[in-house]
Structure 1
Amino acid sequence: MPGKILIVDDEVHIRMLLEQTLEELEDDYGVEILTAGDGEEGMRIIRDQRPEVVFLDIMMPRMNGYEVTRLVTEEEGLDSVRIVLLTAKGQEADKKHGMEAGAEMYMTKPFDPDRVLQVAMELLGLRE
């Protein structure tokens, strides 16, 4: 069963780069790629679409990544959503805060596209 991946980042070029990185999963496995430009839109899509994996920026307008992560963790029915924080905030305290909020994984920008693809495949249970 193919899944859904949501990319939430307020920077258009980052969203596009992540989409390009993950489009192989769309082509090869039928994974659906969704995008959102801020935390509020991302949260709406998470509630409506129930993606299996969310690549989530931290520093965004309207609702930051920590808030989205905490809401997903606390909200009933969203426990199957796995969040990967993907951010420029690389300090150990930032990582700790993200993991405590309920993130599955923490990756820093600039990111390695091969690693992002690998993480997505692992979290979706896909084999190369």
Structure 2
Amino acid sequence: MARILVVEDEDNIAMALEFLLARDGHAHSRLSQGGAAVAAIRAERPDLVLLDVMLPDMSGYEIVELLRADPGMSDVRILLMTARGSIVERRRGLALGADGFIAKPFELSELRAEMMRLLA
């Protein structure tokens, strides 16, 4: 069973993700602020972070940069999620060190496949 942190400020999306994770048997928690997420990731070291790009206090890109600048956090897998799923956004996220990128709205099967790839 994987430990997954959901960092998403939109309640409806977060609830759908939490339902999926619970149904698939993953331990999970949720935060809606980027600053709190950085501290939680450092403290909890989840197996996977589902990270929204557009957060109220800092962007998902900034979080990826902070975590990838810390050698002790290099093994934490990060899947960026954004409603702006352009090629430019995807390239930026992956160049900063995200392990995966998924555009919202996404199919649950697409999300599941990407999570399985990152947790393998």
TM-score by length of 1: 0.87
Structure 1 residue runs without a partner (length 5+) = none
SS in 2 for 1:97: helix
Partner of 1:63, secondary structure, is coil
Partner Cα distance (1:45, 1:119) in 2: 23
Deviations 1:82-127, CA, capped at 9 Å, x for gaps: 11111101122111111111111110000111221222223222xx
Write the distance in 1 (CA, Å) between the matches of 2:34 and 2:19.
Answer: 21
Q: Does 1:12 align with 2:11?
A: yes
The 5 A counterparts of 1:39-118 are 39-118=34-113
Give how far 1:76 is off: 2.6
Partner of 2:2: 3
DSSP 3-state at the match of 1:77: helix
Q: Kindly report the root-mean-square deviation, in angstroms, between the aligned alpha carbons of the 2 structures.
A: 1.2
Long gaps (5+) in structure 2: none
Q: Give the TM-score normalised by structure 2.
A: 0.92
Deviation at 1:10, TM superposition (A): 0.9
Asked if the contact 1:22–1:117 (Cα under 8 Å) also holds between the matched residues in 2, the reply is: no
- Give the number of aligned pairs: 120
CA distance in 2, matches of 1:22, 1:112: 14
**Structure 1 runs, 4 residues or longer, greater than 4 Å off:** none
In the alignment, the residues of structure 1 paired with residue 16 and residue 40 of structure 2 have an alpha-carbon distance, to the nearest angstrom, of 20
SS in 1 for 2:24: helix
